[in-house]
Structure 1
Amino acid sequence: MPQVAGFIRQVVKETERMVSHFFKGGGEAEETPTHLESPVTAMERGHGSGNGVRYGFGAMQGWRVEMEDAHTIVPSLLGVGLERWAFFAVFDGHAGSKVARYCAQHLLGQVTSNADFARGGGGGEVSVEAVKGGIRTGFLQIDSHMHKQWAGAGADRSGSTVVAIMLSPDRIYFINCGDSRAVLSRGGRACFYTEDHKPFLPCEQERIQRAGGTVTLQRVNGSLAVSRALGDFSFKGAEWRDQTEQLVSPEPEVFEIPRSADDQFVILACDGVWDTISNEDLCRFVRSRLQLTTDLEEVCSQVVHLCLYKGSRDNMSIILICFPDAPRVSEEAIRREAELDTYIEQIVTESFNHQLEEGESNLFYVMQELSLGQIPNLPPGGGLASKRDLIINIYKRLKEEYKTANSRDSDESR
């Protein structure tokens, strides 16, 4: 059922986008395509550690014609007297990548250098309210700066959502502007997550209507699917209204949570990930992968591929930040995973051979047969989709072996 629900969400999202195009007078055909005929699956990956946490990163262009995501990873805020602090952010661009890339380079500097943030003092003594106020001010400042810098004819029309965390020695500051999302796993469950800023939420819809706009097809003026973002300056032209009271607001929500010894990890990801998997399912999947490997790049890569196979049609970016209490590699978990892989190989081989007896093999029917069967101990939260690469590799090997054997038999018959 979760896979069906994810597929339905994708269909709804794509339908809304197409209807929105008609609503704006786009005609029967789009001026420029938004998706490719096949996905770009090359991964951008990275990992590191600092200040007592480990992190991994993964990003894929996927089906989109352009990679519009960007990210910031700063394990230690050395230049501002906060060596024991860290900052991680994912920027999900839309209508272009310019805003996302600019903010990935400059947003943190705007936050840590403004007077509101500095008012709390340095050396790790910044007050909670100063941090929250400084983050808000930094967002408004960078948005205003971009607006002035890129105003005029032919101005850039792109925008970007932002989801981030700022880690102090004793607190986690969750920062959200848009529909990317952060989730905290604590004590074996998803205990906190940011709320997506969607136009149909009552508080967002009220602001949009006060600014003279409408929410149509669950979008701002039938066009934009998020109600808060940096950039998107065509939605910020109401001069009689405050910067935070425009159709689309650049104001972030900031949540502060004391750190706990039970903290396991934080996931930051764009909506291309969350469109296909729930908060709890992704946390369950990540926990299961952390019992198999310490390679956080690999875990992020598996998440992105899982979401691709579950039907994501968007760019996908994820940062995984692991605390000391994150799940550790388990020999028992490794054994169970090996047994599962062996069982899947057996089923694929039997299906492949059965198809050959009736004619020609087909990967689609192999996958269909697997999906209809009861396979024990599939990865929690990931299911059969998380084993698609394994299934494809087994199938390719079987086809190659069959081709080689046929070729050898043909040579011998001559």
Structure 2
Amino acid sequence: MATPRFSDSPDARSKSITIADGLDTFGILNQHSVGNTAFQVGVSDDKGTRRYMEDAHSFVVDFAGVRGQGFFAVFDGHAGKHAAEWCGEHFHEYLLGSLRTSSSSTIPDILNETFHNVDRRISLLCEESDGKIHSGCTAVTAFLRIEDADGDQSFLASPITNQPSAAIPSPEDTKSVASVQESPVSDSEEGASPDKTNKKPKSASASPTNRFTRALKNLGGGGNSPPSSPASLPATENNTNTSAVVYPPPSFRRMLYTANAGDARGVLCRAGKAVRLTYDHKGSDKQEAKRITDAGGFVMSGRVNGVLAVTRSLGDSSMKEFVVGSPYTTETQLTDDDEFMILACDGLWDITGDQGAIDLIRNIKDAQEASRTLVQHALSKQTYDNVTVIVVRFNHGAP
């Protein structure tokens, strides 16, 4: 089996944020498109008082080649940086793979499939490292999808437009592990209790191939934290992904699909009110505690087997019998009342509630400034964890 390669840095790193050098450039990881007017993305992070940076993040503008679509995610690592950093670089590729090979499935089912595929891949990383890697990460992901009125994408010639072709994966393709970089540990503490009922996801299918990953290699990479303002970001010098995006028809709807595992959280601002999009999977939750005890484990002091504060995650292969990768999913049709969305790790949510975060940034129109404000607020309140925040401000009426 291939041995994964890692950088010497103990900090998790996300690909540097850039700006596209042409109107028709799309699909690059952590790259703002100069032609996108559908939303603004702001990303800020800080390792706080922790020794290492354990979080990773990712976003893709005009995701899957459709103008106005977007993918956004925050990954909060623990027991090592590897899972979070790997997800930051590759999760979106696996989602693209599932969209391509499972085009007849619903988006929540595709997100569920993606979570399971990624969870298995990280477990393989652990197996092939001879015990050197045993990390996991919580995850909150959001897919902003442009649809026809009936929920389809009939304006597309194929399920994924303008993406490189690749062979459909076989189970054996999961045996080869892609090269990754390292990421540090975050011992997630407990925050507020969840306020939603968990959904039971369906079983997953085979994961995308390395061939597909290589075909989409220009979507991944490594880098550091984002500059303070998108306006100051340099243009990309070596951008080769210049196929034209597909523009949706005049009549379309925006659907926001979210999926999370663990206590990384997503919150929507609807007419000034906070709407929770995710579910906090913690040992303090009665439903989750029952699931774990039914599986033969136990919860002590709010921690699974006395160790892990979260009950769902990607990775954590040594505890996979109890700490599952099954996500909680939601789908929301956006209206003019929906102003912005916050995705963040528990470094923010341990400090402030959903409505408090909304109130703090509602009048800040620049998404980057808003994300930075939330991070600075958490730091000023002496958060003990890493903090990563993505703010997506919606511009209604523009694809």
Q: Please state which band the TM-score falls in when normalised by the shorter chain.
A: 0.5 to 0.7
2:324 aligned residue: 249
SS of residue in 2 equivalent to 1:176: strand
**Is the aligned partner of 1:166 residue 2:161?**
no
Report how far residue 174 of structure 1 moved.
1.4
Choose which of 33, 50, 53 in structure 2 pairs with 1:64: 50
Quick check: 1:316 aligned with 2:292? no
Q: State the match for 2:270 in structure 1.
A: 186
Between the aligned residues of both structures, percent identity stands at 35
Judged with a 3 Å threshold, the aligned counterparts in structure 2 of structure 1 residues 325 and 278 are, in CA distance, closer, same or farther, namely farther
Distance 1:118 1:71 in 2: 25
Partner of 2:21: none
| Alignment check: 8 A CA contact 1:185 1:192 kept | no
Number of the residue aligned with 2:91: 107
Partner of 2:242: none
Query: Is the 8 Å Cα contact of residues 87 and 164 (structure 1) preserved in structure 2?
Result: yes
- The structure with the larger Rg is 1
Partner secondary structure for residue 117 of structure 2:
helix
- Separation in 1, partners of 2:52, 2:68: 36
CA shift for structure 1 position 147: 1.2
Where structure 1 has 5 or more consecutive residues not aligned to the other structure, the ranges are: 1-43, 121-128, 237-245, 327-414
Look up the match of 1:216: 300
Alignment CA distance shift 1:134-1:193 (3 Å): closer
| C-alpha separation in 1, matches of 2:37 and 2:106 | 22
The Cα shift of 1:83 comes to 4.3
Match of 1:381 in 2: none
Question: Which of 242, 265, 281 lines up with 2:356 in the alignment?
Answer: 281
1:138: Cα distance to partner? 1.0
Closer, same or farther: CA 265–223 of 1 in aligned 2, 3 Å: same
Letter in 2 for 1:137: E
- How far is the alpha carbon of 1:116 from its aligned partner? 8.0
Paired with 2:32 and 2:377, the residues of 1 have a C-alpha distance of 23
| 2:334 alignment counterpart | 259
| Contact 1:117–1:134 under 8 Å retained in 2 | no
Give the residue type in structure 2 aligned to 1:314.
D
**Number of residue equivalences:** 260
Preserved contact between residue 117 and residue 130 of structure 1 (Cα < 8 Å): no
Give 1:96 shift: 1.5
Contact 1:185 1:263 in 2 (8 A): yes
Of 154, 157, 173, the match for 2:131: 154
> By how many angstroms is 1:84 displaced?
3.8
CA gap of 1:147–1:209, structure 2 versus 1, over 3 A, is: same
Structure 2 residue 110 is matched with structure 1 residue 134: yes
Deviation string 1:173-204 (CA, Å, 9 cap, x unpaired) is: 01111101100001111133322111222221
Structure 2 counterpart of 1:73, one-letter code: F
Cα displacement (A) at 1:117: 5.9
Q: Matched residues in 1 for 2:305 and 2:95: separation?
A: 31
TM-score w.r.t. length of structure 2: 0.61
Structure 1 residue 140: deviation in Å?
Answer: 0.7
- Superposed, which structure 2 residues align to 1:259-408 within 5 Å? 259-288=334-363, 290=364, 294-324=365-395
Deviation at 1:77, TM superposition (A): 1.6
In 1, the alpha carbon distance for the partners of 2:66 and 2:17 equals 27
Partners of 1:295 and 1:284 lie apart in 2 by 15
One-letter amino acid of the structure 1 residue matched with residue 276 of structure 2: F
Contact residue 112 and residue 134 of structure 1 kept, 8 A: no
Query: Which TM-score applies when normalising by structure 1?
Result: 0.59
User: What letter is aligned with 1:299?
Assistant: A
Matching of residues 80-99 of structure 1 within 5 Å: 81-99=65-83
Q: 1:119 to 1:300 in 2, by over 3 A?
A: closer
User: Quick check: 1:48–1:56 contact (8 Å CA) kept in 2?
Assistant: no
Residue 176 of structure 1, aligned match among 260, 276, 279: 260
Structure 2 CA distance for partners of 1:178 and 1:117, relative to 1, 3 Å:
farther
**What secondary structure is seen at the aligned counterpart in 2 of 1:168?**
strand
Q: Structure 1 residues 66 and 296 mapped into 2: Cα distance closer, same or farther (>3 Å)? A: same
Q: Aligned pair 1:76/2:62, yes or no?
A: yes
Q: Is the 8 A contact 1:45 1:59 kept in 2?
A: no
The match for 2:119 is 143
Deviations 1:233-268 (A, max 9, x none): 1102xxxxxxxxx21010111100111111100000
Counterpart for residue 8 of structure 1: none
AA at the equivalent of 1:102? W
CA contact (8 A) 2:283 2:302 kept: yes
Query: In angstroms, what is the RMSD of aligned CA positions?
Result: 2.2
Deviations 1:359-398 (A, max 9, x none): xxxxxxxxxxxxxxxxxxxxxxxxxxxxxxxxxxxxxxxx
Letter in structure 1 aligned against 2:142: I
Pair 82,295 (structure 1): closer, same or farther in 2 beyond 3 Å:
closer
Higher relative contact order (CA 8 A, sep 6+): 2
* Aligned partner letter, 1:163: V
Question: What are the Cα deviations for residues 132-187 of structure 1, in whole angstroms up to 9, with x where unaligned?
Answer: 11111111111112212321632412110001110012200011111011000011
